[in-house]
Amino acid sequence: MSATRLLLLGTVRIFQPVHGYFVRRELLSWHADAWAHLNPGSVYNGLRTLAREGHIEEVGTETRGGRPARTSYRLTDDGSTEFLALLRAALWNVSPHEPANLMAGWSFAWALTRDEVLAALEHRIEQISASARATDFAIEDIGRASHMPDSVVEHYRLMQARLDGEAAWARQLLERLRAGEYWFEGEPNRPWSSPEFAATEP
């Protein structure tokens, strides 16, 4: 699972046809440079990789004034399949060491139905509860291992505390989604027009 890959596919999906500079600018407005460690090189290289793999395709190149040429992309059918696979992986699977996966997944959760997002959140909470039990047993094992430094116990406790915070967020979000907050695929009154947003130039 790659948060950067999901972010790029999802952003192209929303704004297509769209060029790399716009994708980068949009993701910076989401502060993805901070939480996903996104940088200009990873955006442009990532788009080229997705194009080589057939997940996005070039739809044209344009030059305005003295600016460098900009290549625009759109999602292919394979890209749509890959996007949904990554999105589901991000929402359904707990990644204790990669919080950017969940943040990227939530950025595009609206592309799934409300029922699926609710089910994914319920599943995450169950996974985190199971992780807490596993952590307790791991800490007991570490306590019996005389060669293990004490710091390792705190690593486990810190990781579980972060997951407990995620579970609390997920429970609160579940209640809000059940009450009708946010828009999801298949629901009326979509909050943006079709085609999905226009990639306007600065």
The closest alpha carbon to 9, from 71, 76, 70, 58, belongs to 76
Cα→Cα distances 201→26, 64, 89, 102, 109, Å: 11, 11, 33, 30, 26
Which pTM does this prediction carry?
0.88
* pLDDT tens figures, 129-146: 998 888 888 888 887 887
Question: What's the mean per-residue pLDDT of the chain?
Answer: 90
Mean pLDDT, residues 32-40? 92
**pLDDT grade for 192, boundaries at 50, 70 and 90:** low
102-121 residue pLDDT tens: 999 999 999 999 999 999 99
Residue 85 C-alpha from the chain's centroid: 11
Q: Is residue 6 a contact partner of residue 86, using CB atoms and an 8 Å limit?
A: yes
C-beta separation of 163 from 96 below 8 A: yes
What is the average per-residue pLDDT within 158-186?
95
Best-predicted range by mean pLDDT (67-76, 120-129, 154-163, 191-200): 120-129
